């Protein structure tokens, strides 16, 4: 670290950068002190102060040296890893995240922003540095801010923010769950699953909460800006759900209840709120889709307004929140939405077919409604991603086998009928060549199923 500080201090014209020389001198002095005189958290903070001032100067050479020093803090456990005598809020993770909260202010230097996001991923994915739920939530906040304020011409920053979010969340969940089954009753194991439960609840709140809606009501008319409050929580949920397995939900009821009682109904309500059910007539006029009367969106804070207060039971009387309206308008948010649906189907299909739930019919009905809402509620013009979802589940033998079991267990072939109805409506009503191609590809995948030599599908009738 002393070499990095010397390199930083030898750069020309440092006197023009207020406080940098003094910060370097203070950091070098404390580095030489024994741990009894200067604790590791104090040495870390002195170095971080230097790097913060250097990065704020917007000089590329100083930024490169600063990131070199930050990497040393990340990796050097001998000099900077000890948390002895560390006061609250001064852990290594918290100190580095405090520095990274300045990323949105570096919008004039997209390269620095992307490099800082890489540091964020390294930090929150680390198995050597203790990472708490608060650190992860702060990381999510940083990515949201970076995505929101990224300059329109900085095309690399927004994808980098989304990629960083998904990478560190997936790694965090996997790291927290990396405990053997025999240790399940230990406090650390239970705490890990409680953290994941709290994380999912927080993301659902960010997705449908009042603050999200208020940001969506801003003056910005650009669709990408309006999607921002919804897109990143969806990305985060995909990353977390993909790291889970049905067996984990079976062994941890609070996590199961959080997904079943908060996330799954929220996704269904969003699909209803954003969709307009297509009419089967040749003109393909879109008729309003009935909105669930007991909407989760209203329960968590979405204002339910009525254009006709005398008829509060009319589904069309509710004004849908702007965030809900745009849920499937953009290609990115529609894709993310359907990937969340796919992960929920992957997790809940085995549970719906098992006797795990105290009320198996409840989870089965929710799974069926999720499938129906994803395929039939959105207007035909917004079903491209739903058709791709069908295709993905058909070309994977295990997924399609689970689908057939669900269909048989329903006793009325409802899952299959929803699939056929979706494809039929899109074929008959859509003038969109791209969607027609997707339908043909999906039909080809369905035909290809019959070339399988065998399916290990138990007789559930």
Helix, strand, coil percent values for the chain (each to nearest 5): 70, 0, 30
Q: What is the pLDDT of residues 52-71, one digit of tens each?
A: 999 998 888 999 999 999 99
Q: What span, in angstroms and rounded, lies between the C-alpha atoms of 353 and 17?
A: 65
User: What's the pLDDT score for residue 430?
Assistant: 53
Q: Give this prediction's pTM.
A: 0.81
User: What's the pLDDT score for residue 61?
Assistant: 92
User: What's the pLDDT score for residue 334?
Assistant: 86
List CB contacts of 201: < 8 A, sequence separation 6 or more: 258, 262
* β-bridge partners, 286: 278
**Domain ranges across the chain:** 1-90, 244-292+321-450
Residue ranges of the chain with pLDDT lower than 70? 151-154, 179-186, 209-229, 274-329, 355-360, 429-430, 449-461
Helices (H), 243-379: 246-251, 253-258, 264-274, 296-299, 322-325, 331-353, 360-376
User: What's the pLDDT score for residue 119?
Assistant: 95
Nearest to 53 by CA among 41, 40, 62: 62
DSSP state of 286: B
């Amino acid at each position: 670290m002393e070499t990095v500080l010397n390199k930083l201090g030898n750069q020309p014209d440092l006197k023009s950068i207020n406080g940098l020389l003094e910060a370097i001198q203070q950091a070098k002095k404390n580095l030489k002190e024994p741990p009894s005189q200067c604790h590791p958290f104090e040495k870390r903070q002195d170095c971080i102060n230097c790097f913060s001032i250097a990065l704020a100067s917007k000089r590329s050479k100083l930024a490169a040296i600063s990131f070199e020093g930050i990497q040393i803090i990340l990796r050097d456990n001998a000099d900077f890893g000890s948390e002895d005598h560390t006061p609250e809020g001064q852990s290594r993770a918290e100190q580095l995240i405090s520095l990274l909260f300045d990323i949105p202010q570096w919008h004039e230097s997209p390269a620095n922003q992307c490099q800082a996001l890489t540091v964020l991923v390294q930090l929150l994915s680390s198995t050597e540095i203790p990472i708490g739920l608060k650190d992860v939530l702060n990381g999510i906040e940083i990515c949201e801010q970076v995505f929101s304020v990224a300059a329109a011409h900085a095309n690399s920053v927004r994808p980098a923010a989304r990629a960083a979010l998904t990478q560190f969340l997936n790694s965090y969940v996997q790291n927290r769950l990396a405990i053997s089954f025999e240790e399940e009753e230990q406090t650390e194991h239970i705490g890990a699953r409680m953290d994941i439960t709290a994380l999912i609840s927080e993301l659902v709140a960010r997705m449908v909460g009042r603050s999200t809606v208020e940001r969506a009501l801003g003056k910005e008319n650009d669709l990408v800006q309006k999607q921002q409050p919804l897109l990143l929580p969806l990305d985060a949920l995909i990353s977390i759900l993909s790291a889970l397995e049905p067996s984990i939900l079976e062994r941890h009821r609070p996590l199961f209840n959080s997904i079943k009682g908060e996330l799954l109904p929220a996704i269904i309500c969003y699909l209803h709120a954003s969709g307009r059910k297509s009419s089967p007539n040749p003109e393909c006029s879109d008729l309003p889709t009935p909105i669930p009367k007991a909407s989760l969106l209203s329960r968590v804070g979405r204002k339910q307004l009525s254009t006709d207060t005398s008829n509060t039971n009319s589904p069309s009387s509710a004004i849908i929140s702007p965030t809900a309206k745009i849920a499937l308008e953009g290609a990115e948010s529609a894709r993310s939405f359907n990937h969340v649906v796919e992960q929920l189907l992957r997790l809940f299909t085995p549970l719906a077919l098992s006797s795990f739930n105290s009320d198996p019919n409840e989870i089965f009905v929710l799974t069926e409604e999720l499938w129906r809402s994803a395929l039939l509620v959105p207007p035909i013009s917004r079903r491209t991603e739903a058709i791709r979802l069908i295709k993905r589940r058909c070309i994977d033998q295990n997924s399609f086998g689970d689908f057939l079991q669900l269909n048989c267990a329903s006793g009325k072939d409802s899952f299959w009928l929803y699939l056929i109805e979706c494809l039929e409506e899109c074929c008959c009503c859509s003038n969109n060549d791209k969607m027609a191609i997707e339908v043909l590809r999906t039909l080809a995948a369905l035909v290809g199923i019959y070339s399988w030599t065998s399916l290990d599908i138990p007789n559930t009738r």
